[in-house]
Amino acid sequence: MFGGGTPELYAESYPDKRNIPRMDFLVLFFLYLALVLLGFVMICVGSKTHYLQGLISRGAQIFSYIIPECLQRAVLRVLHYLFHTRNYTFVILHLILQGMVYTEYTWEIFGLCQQLEFSLYYLFLPYLLLIVNLVFFTLSCVTDPGTITKANELLFLQVYEFDEVMFPKNVRCPTCDLRKPARSKHCSVCNRCVHRFDHHCVWVNNCVGAWNTRYFLSYLLTLTASAATMAVVSTVFLVRLVVMSDVYLQTYVDDLGHLQVVDTVFLVQYLFLTFPRIVFLVGFVVVLSFLLGGYLCFSLYLAAINQTTNEWYKGSRAWCQHCPHMARPPAAEPQAYRNIHSHGLWSNLREIFLPATARYERKKK
Ligand SMILES: [Zn+2]
Ligand SMILES: [Zn+2]
């Protein structure tokens, strides 16, 4: 593949750098990364945005002319099962993906990194993060998020003030037939009212609410850290491998018979052909680190200002007065949403990590 490292024959003498096959490869690789990114964004953010919801329903309308009705019904049934009922599909998918990434890390990267004399502390860090992450993942899945029942309804009603905009007083949940405390919401997936409801997370198959937001945040933090650590270890491994092998000092003959200098594009392709699984893993964990990092920053921001995702979502809808679904009777008073629950950073974080009602419930037992 390589045509000897003769420095005299470098690029100047071969200005014609038409490397079409290499571009094809890179275009495909970036397309893969873009698809992974788009897939995640569509699942996580898309389902919450009106514009994208409209786009999806229009797309579905076009598809409805092409796809037979029985297939459409089947797809709708599957989507309903996946996103509107409690099921372990995403929990299992989560564990499979995590298992695949860690298997690849253990079988290939770990051994190769040891040969390149990486520090063992550095190599064991992803395992440590995995253990902590699995603990918080399990806690997020199994902890009661703060289900409102006849027994604790009165206690929850006293926790937060009613703002009369987003959470009016004396409203009953028509399904549970319980009075709705401020900041609570009925989860249609779990069919229960949850105190300080944040959102229903399919990845943990549970609501995120007053009593498990702390576990969910810790889970998110350790998951981001483990993806980022793995991205760093694998990238450093590939870079060190390139530096040690002197590949970047060599030349090669391209498809048109020209001698070419090895550049970054060639190196990526070379690494991909030599270590396909590792390069795919790097692509996956880098995209994942950015997405999780972004979502973590958003969640920490909401925690710092003491707002739930549900309130943020409703607040942004109230703010968007141009949206047709937001049309209010013209006589109504202009109602601006104001966050009345924020009492400073430390107090806000304390509320999440040491929920007062959880302590009270424990004392009662
Ligand atoms: Zn309810
Ligand atoms: Zn739920």
- Residue 4: its pLDDT value, please? 37
What is the Cα–Cα distance from 341 to 88, expressed in whole angstroms? 34
How many angstroms does the Cα of residue 174 sit away from the middle of ligand 1?
7
Query: pLDDT, tens digit, for every residue of 96-129?
Result: 999 999 999 999 999 999 888 889 888 999 999 9
User: Which ligand approaches the C-alpha of residue 86 most closely?
Assistant: 2
Average pLDDT over residues 133-138: 97
Average pLDDT over residues 197-219: 95
Average pLDDT over residues 161-168: 87
- Residue 43: its pLDDT value, please? 61
Provide the whole-model pTM.
0.80
Which one is catalytic: 141, 201, 297, 320? Answer: 201
pLDDT beyond 90 at 217: yes
Mean pLDDT of the chain: 82
Of 213-217, 279-283, 295-299, least confident by mean pLDDT is 279-283
pLDDT band, very low/low/confident/very high, at 336 (cuts 50, 70, 90):
low
pLDDT band, very low/low/confident/very high, at 318 (cuts 50, 70, 90):
low
User: Which ligand approaches the C-alpha of residue 184 most closely?
Assistant: 1
Percent of the chain with pLDDT over 90: 47
How many angstroms does the Cα of residue 138 sit away from the middle of ligand 1?
25
How many angstroms does the Cα of residue 210 sit away from the middle of ligand 2?
13
Active site residue 201: yes
